[in-house]
Structure 1
Amino acid sequence: MLSRTVSSLSRMAPQTLGAVNTVSTRQYAITAPRPPTELNQKLKVTIIPGDGVGPELIYTVQDIVKQTGIPIEFEEIFLSEVHYTRSSSIENAVESIGRNNNVALKGAIEESAVLHTEGELQGLNMRLRRSLDLFANVVHIKTLDGIKTRHGKNLDFVIVREQTEGEYSSLEHQLVPGVIECLKISTRVKAERIAKLVGGAGVVPGQSVGRDFVIFEPGSRHSFQEAMGRSIANPTAMILCAANMLNHLHLDAWGNSLRTAVADVVKEGKVRTRDLGGYATTVDFADAVIDKFRI
């Protein structure tokens, strides 16, 4: 499956930020509903806020959707290993995604050092990916106009990571005498280091892709617990994830307009969060995107 994904990605030509995302999930032959025939007809998607700053970023997207009139509705499912007593089950999450156009927008779920299910080695993230067969994690690394980078060059490339098989499956196995294992793993740390080339984890969108389902989530997949409740997290990646999701749902005009609004705010440089050298809050950035949004 992963080889087919890589082959598909290699055939795609780079696109500008204002156009449909280079890694549009429709390249994976995933079925998605046709666009609403009327503006008052809304599509439903599942949201999984996650831990850390995840809820703040998700609620930022919800506010943008409400203020701009984007024709989608959300069903919230809470999954958490940190707050496991309040967490919903994987089965409920899968059912929700299945009835809501096979799509979800997700914040990072912090993986606890102690799993609360006896005999279970896989955390919620892995169990969700395996339940939906989300075999590939796709992260789009692209330079945004207005963000100064050390190298000063325009970058546009894709990282594809296996996430249901091999070492990512969290299955123990015994080594067999006479067999040598030589692994080269693209870890989360490596992906985050590459993201710094274009401004950091806060501006890099990603998605977990399967044959039938797609979960859109920031490329870093880091909960940023230390910033929770302080409104300092950069929502760019999550908003771009929402734009990619809209394109996947065939709401291209809305997705492209949202992506363009983000690009305009970043290029203008008047509203910057702390990770980009400014003092704007998460809400400030979202408000600026709403002001720039045109459909």
Structure 2
Amino acid sequence: VFSYAGVPVDFEDVNIDPNAEDNDDLSYAITSIRRNGVALKGNIETRSRDAEVMSRNVALRNELDLFVNVVHCVSYPGVTSRQKNIDIVIVRQNTEGEYAMLEHESVDGVVESMKVISRSNSERLARYAFEYAKRNGRKKVTTVHKANIMKLSDGLFLETARLMAKEYPEIQHNDMIIDNTCMQLVSNPHQFDVMLTTNLYGAIVSNVVCGLLGGAGLLAGKNFGAQYTVFEPATRNTGAAIAGKNIANPIAMLNAACDMLRHLGHKNHAALIQNAINKTINAGVHTPDLGGTATSREVVDSIMKYIKISQS
């Protein structure tokens, strides 16, 4: 698609073997991202069930300090979905919480898992959320938590968000317990604008909203750190069950690619591809996950057709 649209971007490909026993290939990927500053990434499968082996996706985010994940959830008019006209931005903590991967079996049959919440990471995440809201004309930030039960960890996260909100009086701030958040998303998603979440709650909320919009194959996610940016499909699903069947939905990855182009300053090329994606979806060229019968190849061919029409 990039070649067809004449995008002036060259890729440095790094393949990561999910069965590899060492992390050499992951190290190559991290080195490449450090060299280029930006990456377009698929979900990296970690097949090992050894508790000592960290998820490679988590390891990459931690190593590059990609502390925030942003998912802009917008309805597609051409997709049959449970809710219409959704426009929600999820700002998710990306490097700590339950994903700290700190588990151990203290005695036989008893497993302890640590949840790590730090003031420093909570502060920079909250500031990112409020700055994003201010910069993009958003009116409200909702902090999602479970501070009624986890009074110290989620309590710190919520307290930090409330303090940050005082620096942005023009932006409304409220908070909501994760249980109620899931129910409210299903029943009345339009009340949400920007959602500020911890790591695990962000994963849950992102998948709920993707379900409301039509499925996991549409939305893209952006991972930001102080130095590096990584773009990927929003739900971080490996899609192993449908690999090689020519039925995977390519839209999420192509949307991630458009986000990357905008980040790099290639706004015209991003708009060209994005418009072709939107026209393809609105024309009803859908893969089976969206209720259609099109193959992955047919979706891409349709996008390329609309790119050609726009260029003529």
Check whether TM > 0.5.
yes
Alpha-carbon displacement from aligned partner over 1:245-277 (angstroms, at most 9, x marks no partner): 0000100100111111101111121x2111111
Query: In 2 relative to 1, CA 120–262 (structure 1 residues): closer, same or farther, beyond 3 Å?
Result: same
Deviations 1:266-295 (CA, angstroms, capped at 9, x unpaired)? 1121x2111111111111101100111135
Query: Which of the residues 274, 283, 294 maps onto 2:297?
Result: 283
Residue 73 (structure 2) pairs with residue 141 (structure 1): yes
Residues 221 and 234, structure 2, Cα contact 8 Å, conserved in 1: yes
Query: Which of 100, 112, 116 is the aligned partner of 2:47?
Result: 112
- Structure 1 residue 103, shift from structure 2 partner: 0.7
In structure 2, the CA distance between the partners of 1:72 and 1:275, relative to structure 1 (3 Å rule), is same
Q: Name the counterpart of 1:212.
A: 227
Q: Once the 2 structures are TM-superposed, how far is the Cα of residue 88 of structure 1 from its aligned partner?
A: 4.1
The structure with more strand, counted as a fraction of residues: 2
Correspondence for 2:89: 158
Secondary structure, counterpart of 1:146 in structure 2: coil
Letter in 1 for 2:289: D
User: Which moves more between the two structures, 244-253 or 140-149?
Assistant: 140-149
Counterpart residue number, 2:160: none
Q: Give ranges in structure 1 of 5+ residues lacking alignment.
A: 1-63
Shift of 1:209: 1.2
Q: Which sections of structure 2, spanning at least 5 residues, go unmatched?
A: 104-112, 116-149, 155-177, 179-199
Q: Which one has a bigger Cα radius of gyration? A: 2
With normalisation by structure 2, the TM-score equals 0.66
Query: Is the alpha carbon distance of 1:187 and 1:203 closer, same or farther for their aligned partners in structure 2, counting shifts above 3 Å?
Result: same
Question: What is the letter of the counterpart of residue 278 of structure 1?
Answer: G
Give the Cα separation in 2 of the matches to 1:174 and 1:254. Answer: 44
Give the CA deviation at 1:142: 0.5
Deviation at 1:181, TM superposition (A): 4.6
Q: CA deviation at 1:139?
A: 1.1
Q: Trace 1:49-198 onto structure 2 (pairs within 5 A).
A: 64-80=1-17, 82-84=18-20, 88-100=24-36, 102-115=37-50, 120-151=52-83, 153-172=84-103, 181=152, 183=154, 185-186=200-201, 188-198=203-213
Identity %: 35
CA contact (8 A) 1:216 1:241 kept: yes
Moved over 6 A (4+): none
Cα RMSD, aligned residues only: 2.3
- TM-score scaled to structure 1, two decimals? 0.69
Is 1:251 equivalent to 2:266 in the alignment? yes
Query: How many positions carry a matched residue from both structures?
Result: 222
State the partner residue of 2:218: 203
- Match of 1:171, SS state, is strand
Q: Which has the higher helix share?
A: 2
Q: Do the aligned residues in 2 keep the contact of 1:106 with 1:215 (CA within 8 Å)? A: yes
Write the letter of the residue equivalent to 2:16.
L
Query: 1:203 touches 1:236 (CA, 8 Å); kept in 2?
Result: yes
